[in-house]
Structure 1
Amino acid sequence: MTRGLRVMRDGVTALALLAFLWLIAAKLNDDAATVYSGQFHAADGDSLNIGGDRMRLYGIDAPELSQTCERAGSEWACGREAKQALQALVRANDTQCRGTERDRFDRLLVVCHAGGADLNATMVRKGMAVSYGAYGDEEARARAQKVGLWEGTFEMPRSVRDHAPRPVARGVLGLLGW
């Protein structure tokens, strides 16, 4: 066999081996989705519990439970209303939530569906949550239609969380400034 054919054969073999290894690596990185269905309980406007498992709706941010907003010159409990809106959506018998990643609080990040509808998108479309990395079109539609939060003024949920008072540490850790 000539030297040129051997080099070509070795190159094709190496390329085939690399492609095979790439396929194995891709399969190992393919996380299996965790799927929940059943009786969900809304903890707030973007978090759910089922049994002892906690989930956060991916791509949205709802007002904090204690947060208030303003519309028509009056204050309203937008955080509580967002929770009630989410609870109403997950009451459907065919609600299913699916996710593969967890947030820094170890909550599964999920997208929920019921009746063929994306519930995360529905929360944003109704103006009960804002886009948080996804659902930008739904937020634009809610803003344009002035629904939910967009009927008046509100502070972004992230800003409310960032300015919330932190618990004071007690005991030795408190004396050390921790």
Structure 2
Amino acid sequence: MIDGDTIEIHGRRIRLWGIDAPESAQLCRNDDSNLYQCGRAAATALAGLLWAIKRPVQCTSVDRDQYGRTVATCQLGTPGPDIGQWLVANGHALDWPQYSKGKYENAQHGAEKANRGIWAGSFVEPWQYRACVKAGGRPAACSDDSDGRR
């Protein structure tokens, strides 16, 4: 596990298709409006899932990204739960409709309705956070957008 939406299998980095988790340095606000490390929380949740299930990860390659990583849908075992869907359903990642075409939209609505993970407070979408940092913003400032979700 590299971060909340990237795993490594036998030395090969795999970016989970159709989802976007908070970046490693990204901060979110919890239900008490306190900042917390939501990027780390997403990575910890993914690591916990992989450790708890203890089944082999099966991935189906979809594409390659700009960093040379394989982009894939991955399951725990065959058949097994879709890792991306689990992350979205538990509020550790967002459906990324630019790529997923809404595949995980229902899972995201469930997480939002139940206030799971990042949906318990407020956050900046990971793609907006990355754009802010790329434009020269400081990670803490890019994390704390007054127009954040929720």
TM-score by length of 1: 0.66
Matching residue of 2:61: 99
Q: Confirm or deny that 1:73 pairs with 2:33.
A: yes
Q: Which amino acid aligns with 1:162?
A: A
In structure 1, list runs of 5 or more residues that go unmatched: 1-41, 168-178
Q: Which runs of 5+ in 2 are unaligned?
A: 137-150
The aligned counterpart of 2:93 is: 129
Counterpart in the other structure of 1:88: 48
The structure number with the bigger radius of gyration is 1
Instruction: Select between 130-139 and 62-71 the one with higher mean Cα deviation.
Output: 130-139
* Letter in structure 2 aligned against 1:145: A
Which deviations, in whole Å up to 9, do the C-alpha atoms of 1:84-107 show, x marking residues without a partner?
A: 111122232232222131112111
Matched-pair identity in %: 34
Residues 4-153 of structure 1 correspond to what in structure 2 (within 5 A)? 42-71=1-30, 72-91=32-51, 92-115=54-77, 116-133=80-97, 134=100, 135-153=104-122
Cα-to-partner distance string for 1:95-137 (whole Å, 9 max, x where unaligned)? 2222131112111111111152111100000000000123111
Per-residue deviation at 1:73? 2.1
Please tell me the residue identity of whatever aligns with 2:86.
Answer: T
Higher helix share: 1
The total of aligned residue pairs comes to 126
Normalized against structure 2, the TM-score is what?
0.78
